[in-house]
Chains A and B, each alone.
Chain A
């Protein structure tokens, strides 16, 4: 999710991007050299899904690395096709998620992966609140590395979180504590967990505040800014470095609003984005919009990390917060979420990325699109692509749709 800022010529560059690069650079260096310090510091390395309760892992002094995040980097650095081909040659279907395929490809051929691939994990933690694929994907990893796999099963919420669902997840979190105590040979430090929860609350509230500034017109940030700047909230949640970065970003974004500086020149169309970024085309794709004065003022994807913690004891809070993530909820909930974003951010339209890889995000989009158009009266475009695999992106048809969509805002 950290992509070179040099390519962002048609955007107003963020000064805080230097801090971002430094913060993330340090994180990657620490992660990739884990073998030198992990044992010494008694800090095991966990590969975790993006929706895993890392606050609990941090309380056990576990260092987390995110295959999904590395997969986004592989994609931004044009390595996904090679890595996917490795996984496909090993028998994995092209219909499988491209994050999973490129991660498995990187495990089999680290020499083809940027950053030399991911460092070997000591344990794996998968939570199915984001999708079901992670279960089988992480089982493959557990067999390959012969390390423990901890799974958190969050039941799909058709409506609100029920007491049974919450208790079911809470029970698993308690079991996870026991497992982590065995793996780390440490008792759970309640005080440290509370401290992690508090740091996590702080970083989340900074990310929420920063995003709220985009209600201003012109918006101080565009979708690529949101996607690039979400990296620390994903991987450094509950860390002081992460908080320091988001303070800087918040201050800069606030200043942009005070000075009425937009992320793009001449903002005239405000849009909401739905689904994961198209990483391999991050700049060329969004440029088709920005050069016509269309700015993505908010999105559901990086907004997935702008959710306040649920109340209760730390474990109760984790159980509710991680079960209530938007991808684990009904189409009705997701339609309302988009409707509210369109109203709150005074958007003129929305764009949905039908992401070949991400089935839970994409399968219900057409139903949601119709509902949102009906409720808000603004137009909604559907683009077919993939978050990481450029082979699923057909530029000319995409350009055609984008142009036709933007023309509906003109007087043609």
Chain B
């Protein structure tokens, strides 16, 4: 009988749930805003995913939880998102050696060993500059919807310079630039450059090794992808659904944990 495994990633902004089977096929995935209780949202999403796949909870052999809310979620095991991300990405891109993950309030760079295990990692600390939340605040100050960013940025000819690292100060800097008559597209390009520059220096600190995979919600933003590619001087591989790669890793780990327990 086919076995099923679930990975749950309760992030600071978004909850992601992935269902896989024994044959490593992704059978379904759901994501939504974490809101007040990431745990409740995750529970609901898991139930919904099982219902959509016509599975009862008993058919799930193992569940692994990751992300900031991992401790609260009832799972067979909780694993850090660094290990889960490494597992997910090395499954999707076996040639990857460097992962750049920009999520809601974290940006991290993970160095992968040839066997897909974590060799080293660097994360932002205490400051959310260079993360998804930073981009969100800036986009909201400019009244731009998230999906529009990429297109607007690609039309920019003279990106402005955002010098503040601090999210709050950067927002006031943007407001000053708007008052000074700078174009929305140029300011947004400046914002993307600022995120890319912060993450690029973190990547160099960890050590740059090909292939480089860019993942996390921010990898959906073409503006940042292009800025980061330019700054690093290497092409970046991006999975079609970069938001779910840690949840996928969690599901893969659930499968491994289940296998080693029998």
Interface residues of A (CB under 8 A from B): 366, 373, 379-380, 382, 384, 392, 394, 396-397, 400-401, 403-404, 407-408, 411-412
A-B contact pairs, 21 of them (CB 8 A): A373-B120, A379-B119, A384-B125, A394-B126, A396-B68, A397-B125, A397-B126, A400-B68, A400-B80, A400-B82, A400-B123, A401-B82, A401-B121, A404-B81, A404-B82, A404-B118, A407-B79, A407-B80, A407-B82, A412-B83, A412-B117
Measured between beta carbons, the chain B residues less than 8 angstroms from A411 are: 260
- In the assembled complex, B87 has its CB within 8 A of some CB on chain A: yes
Measured between beta carbons, the chain B residues less than 8 angstroms from A392 are: 126
Measured between beta carbons, the chain A residues less than 8 angstroms from B87 are: 412
Cβ-neighbour of A408 out of B106, B118, B122 (below 8 A): B118
A401 with B123, Cβ < 8 A, contacts A407-B80, A408-B118, A412-B83 known = yes
Q: Which residues of B in the span 100-117 have a Cβ within 8 Å of any Cβ on A?
A: 106, 117
B80 and A404 form a contact (CB under 8 A): yes
Minimum CB distance partner of A406 in chain B: B80
- In the assembled complex, B253 has its CB within 8 A of some CB on chain A: yes
Nearest Cβ in chain A — how far from B194, in angstroms?
21
A408 with B117, Cβ < 8 A, contacts A384-B125, A400-B82 known = yes
Cβ-neighbour of B121 out of A366, A394, A404 (below 8 A): A404
Interface range, B side = 20 to 34
Measured between beta carbons, the chain B residues less than 8 angstroms from A400 are: 68, 80-82, 123
Minimum CB distance partner of B205 in chain A: A366
Measured between beta carbons, the chain A residues less than 8 angstroms from B122 are: 382
Cβ-neighbour of B126 out of A380, A384, A407 (below 8 A): A384
Cα distance A80–B126 in the bound complex, in angstroms: 20
Measured between beta carbons, the chain A residues less than 8 angstroms from B125 are: 384, 394, 397
Cα distance A394–B119 in the bound complex, in angstroms: 24
Cα distance A373–B68 in the bound complex, in angstroms: 28
**0/1 string, B81-109, CB within 8 A of A gives 1:** 11100010000000000000000001000
Minimum CB distance partner of A394 in chain B: B126
A404 with B119, Cβ < 8 A, contacts A384-B125, A394-B125, A396-B68 known = no
Minimum CB distance partner of B117 in chain A: A408
Cα distance A215–B186 in the bound complex, in angstroms: 60
Measured between beta carbons, the chain A residues less than 8 angstroms from B79 are: 403, 407, 412
Measured between beta carbons, the chain A residues less than 8 angstroms from B256 are: 412
Cα distance A155–B117 in the bound complex, in angstroms: 44
Interface residues of B (CB under 8 A from A): 68, 79-83, 87, 106, 117-123, 125-126, 205, 253, 256, 260
Minimum CB distance partner of B122 in chain A: A382
Measured between beta carbons, the chain A residues less than 8 angstroms from B83 are: 404, 407-408, 412
Nearest Cβ in chain B — how far from A287, in angstroms?
15
Measured between beta carbons, the chain A residues less than 8 angstroms from B253 are: 412
Measured between beta carbons, the chain A residues less than 8 angstroms from B205 are: 366
Measured between beta carbons, the chain B residues less than 8 angstroms from A412 are: 79, 83, 87, 117, 253, 256
Cα distance A407–B80 in the bound complex, in angstroms: 8
A-B contacts, CB under 8 A, total: 48
- Of B81, B117, B121, B125, the most chain A CB neighbours within 10 A belong to B125
A407 with B68, Cβ < 8 A, contacts A384-B125, A394-B125 known = no
Cβ-neighbour of B120 out of A379, A397, A407 (below 8 A): A379
Nearest Cβ in chain A — how far from B202, in angstroms?
11
Cα distance A373–B81 in the bound complex, in angstroms: 23
Measured between beta carbons, the chain A residues less than 8 angstroms from B120 are: 373, 379-380
A403 with B68, Cβ < 8 A, contacts A397-B125, A397-B126 known = no
Cα distance A392–B125 in the bound complex, in angstroms: 10
Cα distance A391–B256 in the bound complex, in angstroms: 39
Cα distance A397–B103 in the bound complex, in angstroms: 13
Cα distance A411–B253 in the bound complex, in angstroms: 10
Nearest Cβ in chain A — how far from B20, in angstroms?
17
A407 and B118 form a contact (CB under 8 A): yes
Nearest Cβ in chain A — how far from B111, in angstroms?
10
Q: Kindly list 8 other residue pairs between chains A and B, CB separation below 8 angstroms, not including A379-B119, A404-B118, A412-B83.
A: A366-B205, A384-B126, A394-B125, A394-B126, A396-B68, A400-B80, A403-B79, A403-B80
Measured between beta carbons, the chain B residues less than 8 angstroms from A384 are: 125-126
Measured between beta carbons, the chain A residues less than 8 angstroms from B123 are: 397, 400-401
Minimum CB distance partner of A402 in chain B: B80
Nearest Cβ in chain A — how far from B14, in angstroms?
17
Cα distance A403–B119 in the bound complex, in angstroms: 14
Cα distance A380–B79 in the bound complex, in angstroms: 19
Measured between beta carbons, the chain A residues less than 8 angstroms from B126 are: 384, 392, 394, 397
Cα distance A236–B82 in the bound complex, in angstroms: 45
Cα distance A392–B126 in the bound complex, in angstroms: 8
Measured between beta carbons, the chain B residues less than 8 angstroms from A379 are: 119-120
In the A-B complex, the 5 residue pairs with the closest CB atoms: A404-B82, A404-B80, A403-B80, A384-B125, A407-B83
Nearest Cβ in chain A — how far from B203, in angstroms?
14
Cα distance A48–B122 in the bound complex, in angstroms: 38
Measured between beta carbons, the chain A residues less than 8 angstroms from B80 are: 400, 403-404, 407
Cα distance A411–B118 in the bound complex, in angstroms: 11
Nearest Cβ in chain A — how far from B89, in angstroms?
14
Minimum CB distance partner of A366 in chain B: B205
Cα distance A407–B81 in the bound complex, in angstroms: 11
Minimum CB distance partner of B85 in chain A: A404
Minimum CB distance partner of B257 in chain A: A412
Nearest Cβ in chain A — how far from B187, in angstroms?
29
Cα distance A380–B119 in the bound complex, in angstroms: 10
Cα distance A380–B206 in the bound complex, in angstroms: 12
Cα distance A383–B79 in the bound complex, in angstroms: 19
Minimum CB distance partner of A379 in chain B: B120
- Of A392, A394, A397, A412, the most chain B CB neighbours within 10 A belong to A412
- Of B79, B80, B205, the most chain A CB neighbours within 10 A belong to B80
Nearest Cβ in chain A — how far from B5, in angstroms?
15
Nearest Cβ in chain A — how far from B106, in angstroms?
8
Nearest Cβ in chain A — how far from B45, in angstroms?
22
Cα distance A403–B118 in the bound complex, in angstroms: 12
Cα distance A373–B117 in the bound complex, in angstroms: 16
Nearest Cβ in chain A — how far from B109, in angstroms?
12
Cα distance A169–B83 in the bound complex, in angstroms: 51
